Structure 1
Amino acid sequence: MLIKNNYNFDRQHIWHPYSSIKKPFPCYQVIKAKGCKLKLNNGKTLIDGMSSWLSAIHGYNHPRLNLAIKKQIKKMSHVMFGGLTHISAISLCRKLIEITPLPLECIFLCDSGSVSIEVSMKMALQYWLGRKENRQKFLALQYSYHGDTFAAMSVCDPKNSMHNLWKGYLTENYFAEAPKCGFYENWSIKDFDDFAYLIEKHHKKLAAVIIEPIVQGAGGMRIYNPKYLQLVREYCNLYDVLLIVDEIATGFGRTGKLFAFEYSDIEPDILCLGKALTGGTMTLAATITTREIADTISNSYANCFMHGPTFMGNPMACAVAVENLNILQNNDWVHQVGNIEKQLFKFLLPLKNSQQVSDIRILGAIGVVETNRSIDIAAIQNFFVRQGVWIRPFGKLIYLVPPYIIKEHELKKLIESIFLAIEYPLNFL
């Protein structure tokens, strides 16, 4: 825990994500992070199973990422992107165009993943203005999660997500039934009936379909059949609707492919990237679209795209993102993620036999344990810390998304701690 004075100050004055200022969850003070280890102020060391919410894919304090930041800060830490440019942003955008599908060639650099979603939605709306069509609705999926800002919340499931509080304030969009066929299950065309019905009925109102590819994240860590996403692309083509793919959580190797949409062999019209873009060092995101969409936006109202964050294209963030992509292009991640997946299947999957568990889902460097009832987050968090691991459950889910560099014994320790929590559940479930 934090030393007493700092701990009390933190609880009384500082909001943490999805936490109450009146009755906050306990917080643990990290004083150093290196590799897959978090060191607390009490001397305890935790194995990190969260990659700082899927961002620190190469672990912490990576020497190459640190050096990229040091080199850049000697030149400049920031300069406005309006009317100015710099080599770090240019180099990053060159690399992003190189690793994404060929039609994607126009890039808007953003502050965060949620802002990337906002930008993608504004792009879609302004695109249809450029085509002189009044399309102001979006089609998303049940259990979807796309961020916490207002437009992003409007395409998160209004009934089954953390954002149902805002119903009535948000623009109402359309939501198709979530895919039921799992990634490894036989495909059933009935899984797609509701989406097909909604896009056929409302396509003239739709600015875009927005979807998390293959893995639905904070809406329940659901992993669905690639055929579903393939049909989404086909129907968007059929009904002339843009497709926004949200790879913020899944991008850069997490699922075993560089981008999860590759499992379905599709290309998005607009692609949102974030989280692991800088290897977990700094906040940065990107929204990438086609030349046709960009040109149409430029022919619409004001003859430009109406968005421009103050810290857009931050040189330090861009420089470290370039080095992060350099590391990924060595392709070690393919072997690393493959080994994590094998270990998850070998050691985590047996939990499916537990009476406390309703499902186990695994893909790439993602392992999900869905319990039969809600978890006491504060209690189980304390248990995991005492076990020497950092795992952050939510709802009924205990999940692992470790750094790619995690060692076999470290991952096994994370899995063993989950087994213990499930085996002795009285205080948690």
Structure 2
Amino acid sequence: MVSDTPSIATLAGKRILLGVSAGIAAYKSALIVRLLKQAGCEVRVVMTDGAQAFITPLTLQALSGEPVRTSLLDPEAEAGMGHIELARWADLVLIAPATADLIARLVNGMADDLLTTLCLACEAPKLIAPAMNQAMWRHPASQRNAQQLALDGWQLIGPASGDQACGDVGPGRMSEPETIVDAVASHFTRALAPSRGPHVVITAGPTREALDPVRYLSNHSSGKMGYALAAAAVAQGARVTLISGPVGLPTPQGVTRIDVESAVQMHTEALRLAPDAALFIGCAAVADYRSASPAEHKLKKQEDSDTLTLTLIKNPDIIAEVAALPADSRPLVVGFAAETQQIERYAADKLARKNLDMIVANDVSQAGLGFGSDENAALLLWRTATGIEQRSEPPQPKTQLAQGIVRQALTLLSV
């Protein structure tokens, strides 16, 4: 049954375009249609060819009360352009289940069937519930695709973990229909009052510290974790400003982005925005040092010397300065710690030393996690009235980890 919450009332009269792709979880799409109809939605269903091997169009037609569309070039559709008509009709696109193949085609902008064509043509918000074998979900290609979908503005629902039809156990199960319908309802609840959410300021990516006009000091940060946090915060109803170092990532939908290069520039923007924020997340990999005097012209190699001496000075400690703001203008502050050993000890020390409210510690020595990767693991530590609590997050997509981090931070904000 649909949960009895005020958010469900916001579904009355909403036009939901449900896409169903191939997979055993397609049988759950019938319950999704039923729950959406019970909540007062108009529902139209589009099925891929493969989906029809698992559930018949007639079943979904009977439940939705509308013809089910399966063909891109339908001669019975209005003027032969029914896909454009459907794209304009929808208030929201929901794909459940979404296979690995469909997700890959969406990421690459393909339009080789009705469902993918609709997704390109439709400007409405889009939610997607992945469903696949646990090994397929964990594959680096699937993780890259899931992260790119989130950056492109899709809201991912799940996947859940548990027993799978193939006998495996792990992440990849489609979220339950009730969870999916609740996510649809939550989307419209946020849309009714988008400005009510807390202002969240996030720093992301590396900084570049100039040595001369063509060289700089930097690090391997890709910005993926910070951008995933920004997307997750928007999905949870926040108003987000992202202060970004130089990265090659698109701005998540609904996020205000400010581009900076150096630590000093990031420091300036952070101190300007932090007093207006409820939550500040310092995820950027800020360079600890910068050149004391960047050269005006390109430094030339000295043929008579095998060494080059640089004088470096400390950069401002952005997260510590935000945490030290007066109480009446200080946001809740979340920091990150990239460590290679004694993770818990160093994270707890940084939490106390910099007066943070919460810290997310990563073991960057683990292969396939952290810098440049689509997956990460973390140890979360946060202050409570009685001491320090902590929770370990196992390796998972950064988009999924970001949701848990933001959820914990917003929980602390409401205490």
Q: Which has the higher strand share?
A: 2
TM-score (norm 2): 0.29
Greater RCO structure (CA 8 Å; 6+ sep): 1
Give me the TM-score of the superposition, normalised by structure 1.
0.29
In our comparison, the structure showing a higher alpha carbon Rg is: 2
